[in-house]
Structure 1
Amino acid sequence: MNLIERRKRLLGRHVTTFYDDPFAPVRGEGVWLFDADGRRYLDCYNNVPHVGHCHPRVVDAIARQAATLNVHTRYVHDGVVEYGERLTAKFGHGLASLIMVNSGSEANDVALRMAQAVTGKTGIIGTDNTYHGNTAAVSQLNATKVPVGGYGDHVRQVPAPDNLHPVGGSRAEQAEAFCAGIETAIAELEASGHGVGALIICPYFANEGFPTLERGFLDRAIAAVRKAGGLIISDEVQPGFGRLGSHWWGHERLDFAPDIVTLGKPMANGHPVAAVVTRPEVLEAFQDVFKYFNTFGGNPVSAAAAMATLEVIEDEKLVKNARDVGAYALEQLQGLSGKYDVIADVRGAGLFFGVELMQGDEPASDLALRMVNEMRQRGVLLSTVGRFDNALKIRPPCVFSRQNTDLLVSVMDDAFAAVLK
């Protein structure tokens, strides 16, 4: 029995493998992954190794701390305090307290409970094409699979913004139409007795296909939620830590003030670390209502990994790199749009961008999947995203360079030529 069959037998046949020919890397370095034959692949997808695969400073920090001490957080250790102070200094809006956890799913689960504790209300609003994790609570928000028994009566999903199919029929009307969806959800939750506990949103609308939105896009929707007594949760698991180039956090880019921010994937460059950042009074209310303890959240090794990652982002100026290389990448990819009619839109921010494909008036979902597999065979790894999975999703480590971009665009050009012939 080969590795793939053993994997299916052990983990289940539906476990994701991304490609028709599953990829099995054995080593990583910077923006590269290597297979057992030594062939290297340009990683244009993984945002977990935010500062590059196996960054030596992060590896060294983990090894040194693991060789010294690792305990749970009921013992006092300066590592988590020092890291938390450095991290929260990156936030405004009074977001000066945090809880350390192990994954974005846990972070969002805790954030929802914080909103319940503060408001006394259970209603949650998200979009109709989102993902916020896999705990029982946050799986109620996921658009791809309906929970057993259907969505809870306390959950409302509003139409997500979109570039090619904007809510309200036009890009100019989209913010107002999105707000109207929020207001409808608020009215329904209040009529049902749940009330509005929180609006949870990715400020980049990453899983929705990262539409191009102006600063202030959410202002009216947020005002409506706050008027109803709800809190605003900004899920920064994908856009956070400078990936968007212009700011450290996605909510800064859209110019709104969240009550709670959730962090995860890239926080410690692959070590399982996540956090919930909020105002002190929100944390206090949560701790008054819920007895919460996390064995591994904020342990010394995790704190060391996260601190090293934060320092690398600062020292290597990776936010600026994301801005500069991302702008160059968009320019180069836009050059392909005149060559291939199937490219309907090229968009993004920093090192989080993509190419949406259409065939006539129909989303080119099958073509996008063929492109992903063709590029994998040619040594470039990416994926798809969006309501119809018809957009190529490009989200590389933040050490990505112009040279890497040139390779990406060259391979994409060749892949389009191959799949369209």
Structure 2
Amino acid sequence: MTEDDDKKAGHGAALARKALERLLARAENAASKGPAQTDRAGRSVTLPLSEKSFPEYLRLHRHADKAVCNANLQLAERDGAISIEWDSRAGERAHVQRIVLCDGARLAEHLGIEPRWDVVAQAERQFELHVTEHPVLTHVLEAWRKGNLVRGTRPGDVASWLDAIRVMESCAPRGGDDIAIRRLSASLFRDSKRIEAIWPALDALVQGDATMVQSEMEDLFSELGLVKFPPTLLVAGNAAVMYGNETVRASRPYVGFAPSVLRSVQIDPGFGQRLLTVENLTTFHEMAGQRPDDAIVIYTGGMPSPSWKRAYAVFLKALAPTATLHHWGDIDLGGFRIASHIAKCCEQEGRSLRLHGMRADAVLPGTVTQRELAPSARREILRVCERWGWGEEAAALGALAVEQEAMEPCWPE
């Protein structure tokens, strides 16, 4: 046989394998609905070698190419993986009309491929100890059975999810401490950037739902207390802060503290009537510069970290019971998620949080909008508003997201 003949024979064999792989893919999809060899309606899994389903076979114009392809399909039939339906009008075993699955496991073995149902079954065994605590893994398995990606992970990518669980378990006992993300990643996985690589799976575990809108990576890490460098708590207000073993006054325009060292706060009588938290740094600087004497403004640094929340609780304890609490952030999902975390801090101290500047209908005409709100993001914002009783913000929510920096600074009345 010449080199040219080898190439032609190889073409016929490759086409047969392609047809068998496509049949296996159909079997894998059918297996998520019923027995591996049938679909949900009990119909056999087949692949017609037709113009619609597999036109490559009809384009085999050389008799030798088709003969090699047919011979390779017959090898799979001999292994008990498939049966072949021949077109009797074309002559004795000359033209294949369709191939029919007989045994999905045997077909996978014939091809040397681990079928998706085995991959998912193995993943299910590996997830077994964690499903009760993380029910989202059940959704992951169900999506994998259908061949779908979940947060960027393919069927069988168990390591990403188990590693994400290890991260959560490492963060949980640290309370309000900040954790150097790359140091933790290196200690857990001997890879300083592994946590950053698996953050979409980690986000789904934290939210408890892989279908919810994905958080921003930095927001997720802040929520868990994972930091690249220790955060600074920026405060503007008439307050004396017990900082380590010293008392430091928060003089104008503002002062920065390491939140982990902040012990207690004393607010001058009559000067802590309202506390405003601000999501973005530009707006914080503007608000600090025009702060009324009776107000305190604190920069959240985006999503509050555990150490920030602990320091915020210290300020809440120092405020008079009549003091009002406000938060101002972006009119988007991230902004409302941040507000929700701060509202929970307030709730734990027996207080309630009001929103400021987050009513979309109060935004001035011509304000630059960042992007359209995805329907899923809008639905989640409405759920957040319902949870905390922010009815005015829910009623005013439009179809556009608005960045806080695009709005003129103003103080709550």
TM-score of the two chains, using structure 1 as the length reference: 0.19
Larger Rg: 2
**Greater relative contact order (Cα 8 A, min sep 6): structure 1 or 2?**
1
